[in-house]
Amino acid sequence: MPASRKRLLTLLFLAAAAAAFAVDPAQMSVKVKEAQLRTSPSYFTGKIAAMLAYTDRVTVIEKQKDWARVSFPAKKAEGWIHLSALQDKAIVLTSGSETVAKQASSGEVQLAGKGFSKEVESKYKQDNKLDYTWVDKMEAFKVTPEQIVGFFTQGGLSPEGGAK
Amino acid sequence: MKALSRIFRTAAISIVLALVLSGCSTLFSAFSPGRIVGNIADNATDTVVGAALGNEEDKKKIETVTKPFEEINPEQEYYVGRAVAATVLGTYPAYGDAKVNDYLNSLGQSLALASDMPETFSGYHFLAMDSDEINAFGAPSGFILVSRGLLRCATSEEEVAAILTHEIGHVTGKHGLKAIKASRWTEAGALLAKSATSGSDSGITQKLTAAFTDSIADIVKTMITSGYSRDLEKQADLAAVVILQRVGYDPRALVRMLQVMKTRLKPGGKDFAKTHPDPAERITYIEAAIKGLEAGAGASAAAEPSAASKRQARYKAALGKI
């Protein structure tokens, strides 16, 4: 085989590979404040492997019912996360760049902290002289994953039911 | 000439290869649950609009207008939920007993994990309201408020679980957001798109706050005064039955709660009696749903009877004097 044909074949193969990987549909974004990455697809038997934060972009490896096994290279983490914590669309923190602004207005990406935001809440609170003390206190009520498992076990309930 | 045709053939094979490879990823995307979740959210937006309008034609018209505006995202739903909770707490003050609220959160957050939407922006949170009225509110994003009057109707943990799961059902069904009038939705949609492309603009913030204020008023009015539609109440009841059954509580606890409420609600009262369908009507479809679940193969194991005394003891310790 002449060298020029070999080069051409290699080039064509590379072009084919690039076309195949140009669009990566296996990327999803964390749409909640914080999410746990677990060792198995269950809130009860899965141990927490790592914590993910709002806007983190993960790579989906596989899916099982309502759960996805994902990897998050920035933290060298891998584990299971419930699909209700993920969305396809990327979430971007600032609207500084013009490209991002364009993508946001066309619906390609979602901007964090825009629309009904902290800023709007402050104004609403001030205009209506509302007291958010108990809302903040309420939000601070945290039940740890261990406490939840303990609550189920003590009550003789079937925790695996929750993992569907 | 021969060489040229070989090149073309190689090129054709490469293109086919490229298409096949990229086709795999397209398939993966099309069938990914994430995509399904997205579609459900889109449909939810349509229902939001539809729910506010009776007329099918108007519904279609508004849907077209609001199509570019995506459903409210979880972060924004969170601010709506906080505002609804703060506004309701302006009328019904919080009952700050730590024992009561700790128990409601242990029970409620455990139940929420067994729902179809265990993750919300900041999680599920529960708070008792210091009111004798029989009432509860499931505000968007998982801010759930329950009156002492309603908690007094319960006599066991599973009955409290029945109350909480009904409210969780309103949250997972995004019923609060569905109470926002279509006109506000259109207005907010346009503003949201604008705010996405601009920096901090006080004019837009002002208008967004006005749209936000009107939206919160719509939700609070529906929750406190007019009530959700029969359909949405039914959805919340059915979601409750499913969650109760999944974790092992007897879903008939919901029926027992409704029977008690039926005797305690005052006709013409400004609480549950005003905003919810007749308990008798609800009991009929709840019983049917339970029978359906029991007939299905997916019945979960019932709670261990030996632990019943422990469940009753922790319930009594937390809510015995509510």
Q: Where are the domains of chain A?
A: 25-155
Question: B27-53, pLDDT tens digit by residue?
Answer: 222 222 222 223 333 333 333 333 333
A156 touches chain B (CB under 8 A): yes
Band of pLDDT at residue B299, cut at 50, 70 and 90: low
Q: Spell out which residues of chain A touch residue B300, defining contact as CB-CB under 8 Å.
A: 158, 161
The pLDDT of residue A33: 96
Q: Crossing angle, helix A3-22 and helix B2-30, to 10 degrees?
A: 20
The tokens describing B279, both together, are 């308990």
B106: nearest CB among A32, A134, A151? A151
The tokens describing B52, both together, are 């506010």
Q: Which residue of B has its CA nearest to A88?
A: B34
Question: What span, in angstroms and rounded, lies between the C-alpha atoms of A15 and A21?
Answer: 10
The pLDDT of residue B202: 74
The pLDDT of residue B196: 66
What's the angle, vertex CA B116, arms to CA A78 and CA A71, rounded to 5?
10
Q: Spell out which residues of chain B touch residue A156, defining contact as CB-CB under 8 Å.
A: 248, 303-308, 310-311
Mean pLDDT score, B131-149: 96
The pLDDT of residue B293: 86
Band of pLDDT at residue B265, cut at 50, 70 and 90: confident
pLDDT for B273 beyond 50: yes
CA B67 to chain centre: 22
In angstroms, what separates the C-alpha of A57 from chain B's closest C-alpha? 13
B317 touches chain A (CB under 8 A): no
Contacts of B26 (CB under 8 A, 6+ apart): A23, A25
Band of pLDDT at residue B58, cut at 50, 70 and 90: very low
CA separation, residue B87 to residues A70, B92, B94, B134, B233 (Å): 39, 9, 12, 18, 22
Scan residues 19-58 of A and list those with Cβ closer than 8 Å to B: 19-26, 28, 31-33, 35, 43, 54
A6 C-beta neighbours (distance < 10 Å), count: 10
What CATH architecture is A25-155? Roll (2.30)
**Nearest CA-CA partner of B110 in A9, A157, A64:** A157
Q: Is B2 exposed, middle or buried (0-12, 13-18, 19+ CB in 10 A)?
A: exposed
Question: B150-174, pLDDT tens digit by residue?
Answer: 999 999 999 999 999 999 999 999 9
Band of pLDDT at residue B294, cut at 50, 70 and 90: confident
Residue type, B222: T
Can you spell out the DSSP letters for A20-83?
A: HHHS-TTEEEE-SSEEEEESSS-TTTPPEEEEEETT-EEEEEEEETTEEEEEEGGGTEEEEEEG
B64 touches chain A (CB under 8 A): no
Q: Spell out which residues of chain A touch residue B110, defining contact as CB-CB under 8 Å.
A: 143, 148, 151-152, 162
The pLDDT of residue B216: 95
B309 touches chain A (CB under 8 A): no
Q: Spell out which residues of chain B touch residue A37, defining contact as CB-CB under 8 Å.
A: none
* Phi, psi torsion values for A69, nearest 5 degrees: -90, 125
8-state DSSP, B306: G
Band of pLDDT at residue B62, cut at 50, 70 and 90: very low
- pTM for the whole thing? 0.79
Paired sense of beta strands A48-53 and B125-129, if any = unpaired
B101: nearest CB among A83, A132, A141? A141
Scan residues 105-124 of A and list those with Cβ closer than 8 Å to B: 105, 107, 110-121, 123-124
Mutate one of B19, B26, B73 to test the A interface: name it (highest A CB count within 10 A): B73
CA separation, residue A122 to residues A105, A125, A127, A129, B296 (Å): 25, 5, 9, 10, 49
The pLDDT of residue B197: 64
The tokens describing A51, both together, are 């914590």
pLDDT for B23 beyond 60: no
- Please tell me which residue, B47 or B307, carries the higher pLDDT value: B307
pLDDT tens across the length of chain A (164 residues)? 566 666 666 666 555 554 444 445 699 999 999 999 999 999 988 899 999 999 999 999 999 999 999 999 988 999 999 999 999 999 987 656 667 667 776 677 788 888 888 999 999 999 999 999 999 999 999 899 999 999 999 999 976 653 33
Q: Which of A36-45, B93-102, B259-268 has the lowest mean pLDDT?
A: B259-268
